[in-house]
Amino acid sequence: MSLSAPVPPQPQPPALPPLPDAAALALRAVHRAASELRRGTPVLLRSQDHFLVIAAAETVGARGLAELAAAAEAAPCLLLAPVRAAALGVPRPAGEEAVALRLPPALLDPTALRGLADPTAEALLPPEGMRAERQAPPPLAGAALALAKLGRLLPAVIAAPATGLPPPGRLDLLAVEAPAVLGYPTTAALSLRRVAEAAVPLEDAPDARIVAFRAGDGGIEHLAILVGRPEASARPPLARVHSECFTGDLLGSLRCDCGPQLRGAIRRMAEDGAGVLLYLAQEGRGIGLVNKLRAYTLQDSGLDTLDANRALGWGADERNFLVAAAMLDQLGIARVRLLTNNPDKLAALAACGIEVAGREALAFAPNGVNDRYLETKAQRFGHLLA
């Protein structure tokens, strides 16, 4: 009688990590959809009762238009922010969050669409000009423009109703829920987590640390610059909510006062013994660097900061200050003295649960280039510069 050799124990597959929760999955879907629009690829926007296939007018090419047409159940329209439509001579309807235009074939062209979307590229429009007719905006039009904005694209979208089913012979389009798009700013802010920290001695603040925060979709990081130990301060520490400004902070642009405010805030915190500067990835009041450069072009043509942003289809200020409140909460800082000239920041932080114990001014004299910019801040944004 022969005995068989014992069977060695078989390795067990590693345990699967827990599935992401619904909020994380929604963030991921919105981030992917915004990236698709940036690439010129259509996506499917859906709600419980409606499907809308959309593509960004700024980036869509011939292939993207063909894919959109294959998924569409009806002729596409162009969705524009009301302020951009008004600049094209289309009357602004009361109460509508998007203007829908039925375009003739000559304007259903990638080059012409860029001209319709971008006031700095209107020379790309055909010589015969604008001959579009208004139509009722489709359901989900507001979410379509919101998704383009999340991708830092101009809020101008080609859209058509769809069934939600893929056309024969091609892959599904990426689908995203409209409520997830509209709720993204809040969900992303509440999902922020600390991911890295290091001591970074600064010229004006040798005892400084930088803490990086990342949202649940893995997108752009926001930073906190801690001077001293503000989280352990016996009194409310100095705090500044500073939106990144590549041109001013890094290059020393004279068009704004961002660079002096950044460095001045850090110096003030070092002199005070402690402070926190929240460096938010919200360039150009939330419109992104590319759109800020477009706004600069419009300003050189005579518009001020506020009107230039609106001419691009954006609001005057698109920033989300819940991001700052979430960062302060994780840093253990519930009370601050805010370094700002902007009353809206005081109200926004207070509305998000941060106690603002006082305001400290942070104003700098005009430099001969940014005079009108500072005047606009005071007169149209209500900044306290006097």
Query: By the 8 A CB rule, do 189 and 326 touch?
Result: yes
317 is catalytic: yes
* Angle formed by the axes of helices 178-190 and 141-150, nearest 10°: 40
Which distant-in-sequence residues (6+ apart) come within 8 Å of 3 by Cβ? none
User: Phi and psi dihedrals of 55, rounded to 5?
Assistant: -145, 150
**Annotated catalytic residue, options 118, 249, 272, 317:** 317
Q: How far apart are CA 174 and CA 71, in angstroms?
A: 12
Per the listing, tokens 């409209």 go with: 178
What DSSP designation does 224 have? E
* Tokens read off for 322: 């819940």
Q: Please give the DSSP secondary-structure letter assigned to residue 124.
A: G
Structure tokens at 184: 């993204």
Nearest by Cα to 328 from 132, 192, 216, 183: 192
Spatial CB neighbours of 297, under 8 Å, sequence gap ≥ 6? 120
Is 319 designated active site? Answer: yes
Catalytic residue (one of 319, 335, 344, 371): 319
Q: What angle do CA 138, 142, 145 make, to 5 degrees?
A: 110
Q: What distance in Å separates the CA atoms of residue 309 and residue 344, rounded to the nearest whole number?
A: 18
User: Tokens at residue 128, please?
Assistant: 């015969």
Strand order of the β-sheet with 222-227 is 193-199, 208-214, 222-227, 275-280, 238-243, 335-339, 355-360
Residues classed as catalytic: 317, 319
